[in-house]
Structure 1
């Protein structure tokens, strides 16, 4: 009886409609046609990407999330954002919320999303000596840990949205995925990473 129940549970998990719809496709992905020099300290090299097509969240109606990952420590930063925000807005967000705390990057690795290739964005970062490295479609990936982080966050957010979960305070205000970002970020930072054997927080802060 127990064996049968276990088998049925496994089959259900593998065929759950909501889980399959929420899971990220594992088909051919974007990679990088570049050589990445491994950093020797935190926030020298970062990876950036977007989690997109998210439902409107919070009173500001966030519908995308900018994901930034430090290649050295694997420390992530998740920034809820709007798909209609310009490259200028995104550049300001990055400087105010990230660079003002981490210092200037030596290398930013990203795909060729319009916000990352806009002239103001590229000129601004290159003026400060930051190298911009762009991915090329279907080239073998070299951004493994960062891509994994991005996929995991996207999976967690979409799974949360797929089940329509809500957290309500006594005031009746509904807090959805954007309000879970701080907790998700903390969970990532304080969990041992398989490639380093340590937590991102320990490698970043010591």
Structure 2
């Protein structure tokens, strides 16, 4: 996907992860402009898009286990439950495993590194 979308489109406003494209903007007009550019490029290379998998005009979305909006980055509730349901580590190996598992969600957790010590 990164090879299809030109650099000028992907700088500021597009997040590309494998075959997913997230288009971000500060205004609806800019959103539509970026969407048109992406769709034009997709059509140019004869790429197919599944409309069933598309979401348009949302202020918040779920991506890679996170809830992303203009104001915050959060963790999906079912992912929080998975961390909370893990058994309490009983030894160093289990603790290292737990920290590795939970560190995927470290970004929205203030002072995660300090808490993990």
TM-score, normalisation: structure 1: 0.21
Q: Return the TM-score normalized by structure 2.
A: 0.30
Higher relative contact order (CA 8 A, sep 6+): 1
